[in-house]
Amino acid sequence: MSLFAAVAEPAFVVPTMLLDISFLALLVVVAFAIVRMRSLFGIVMLQGVYSLVSACWFVSLDAVDVAFTEAAVGAGVSTVLMLSAMLLADRKSTPVPMRRQVGALAVVVLAGMAMLYAVGDMSAYGDVHSAANSYVGMDYIAKTAEEIKIPNVVTAVLASYRGYDTFGETVVIFSAGLGVLLLLGLNGNSGRWVARPNGQMLNDHAAPSAGLATDNRSEEQRAEPDQ
């Protein structure tokens, strides 16, 4: 019955609705599967699937730039990063006893209820006249043609109007890369030294990673046992 009601709507609404409903249903299924799953490989793969499905959904919501960034960065780079971290760390996660989950479940349900209570105040989906769609966003569309003179408004805002934002983002990426290098080390020496609370350094025989330190050396180090 509801389908007949939908046919009376403008032609664009029905396929968009169907896409929306199916993509969102898929996302919910994948998210629940991530919660249930114990194999870390499966979790990482499902996380990639989740990103890719949401990228598809972004296309149906006209956010094409976001979609290909999400597909490349969210589904691509993130998955590769998580996969490599998983290979360096562990393959399985141990199950959490039920009594440890109750608190988390209560907090999540409460927060979810509070947010659902506020949903009524959100503007209707696709509303042209909502506050979010009225002022500055539409201003960018009106002014890009004459001020920046390129057709892609998102690029114009990203690189010109909010250029400092993008510069800050680049700084964040740079510091993240620097942080990863400092944490993991470039020379394979990471994990061989451990700091004590009072500032003294322990050698790797006394460190918690004593057993691992020998296995963790690279091929070159293994070839030269003296080092």
Partner 1 sequence: MSELFSQYNYVIVIILMMTGLYTVFASRNLIKKLAGLSVFQTSVFLLYITIGKVSGGQPPILVEGGASYGTDVDGHALLEGTIQVAAGGGSYILPGPGSDVLYSNPLPHVLILTAIVVGVATLSIGLALTVRIREVYHTIEEDEIEEKDFIYNLEGTAD
Nearest distance from C-beta of residue 128 to partner 1, angstroms:
5
**Residues recorded for the chain:** 227
Cβ–Cβ < 8 Å for 36, 88 = no
Interface positions, 75-94, toward partner 1 (CB under 8 A) = 77-78, 81-82, 84-86, 88-90, 93-94
Interaction of residue 123 with partner 1, rule CB under 8 A: yes
Nearer to partner 1 by C-beta: 73 or 201? 73
Residue 186: CB atoms within 10 Å: 8
Cα–Cα nearest to 158, from 147, 170, 166, 150: 166
Q: Could you give the CA distance from residue 126 to residue 116 in angstroms, rounded to a whole number?
A: 19
Nearest distance from C-beta of residue 226 to partner 1, angstroms:
22
Nearer to partner 1 by C-beta: 126 or 218? 126
Nearest distance from C-beta of residue 219 to partner 1, angstroms:
18
Q: Could you give the CA distance from residue 192 to residue 136 in angstroms, rounded to a whole number?
A: 53
Q: Could you give the CA distance from residue 57 to residue 64 in angstroms, rounded to a whole number?
A: 10
Interface positions, 2-41, toward partner 1 (CB under 8 A) = 2, 5-6, 9-10, 12-13, 17, 20-21, 24, 27-28, 31-32, 34-35, 40
Nearest distance from C-beta of residue 196 to partner 1, angstroms:
9
Interface positions, 159-218, toward partner 1 (CB under 8 A) = 162, 165-166, 169, 172-173, 175-177, 179-180, 183-184, 190-191, 194, 206-212, 216
CA torsion through residues 94, 97, 103, 107, sign = positive
Nearer to partner 1 by C-beta: 116 or 223? 116
Interface positions, 45-64, toward partner 1 (CB under 8 A) = 46-47, 50-51, 54, 57-58, 61-64
Nearer to partner 1 by C-beta: 84 or 203? 84
Cβ–Cβ < 8 Å for 92, 39 = yes
Nearest distance from C-beta of residue 46 to partner 1, angstroms:
8
Which one among 15, 73, 214, 218 touches partner 1, defined by CB under 8 A? 73
Cα–Cα nearest to 46, from 59, 19, 28, 68: 28
Pairing of strands 201-202, 194-195: antiparallel
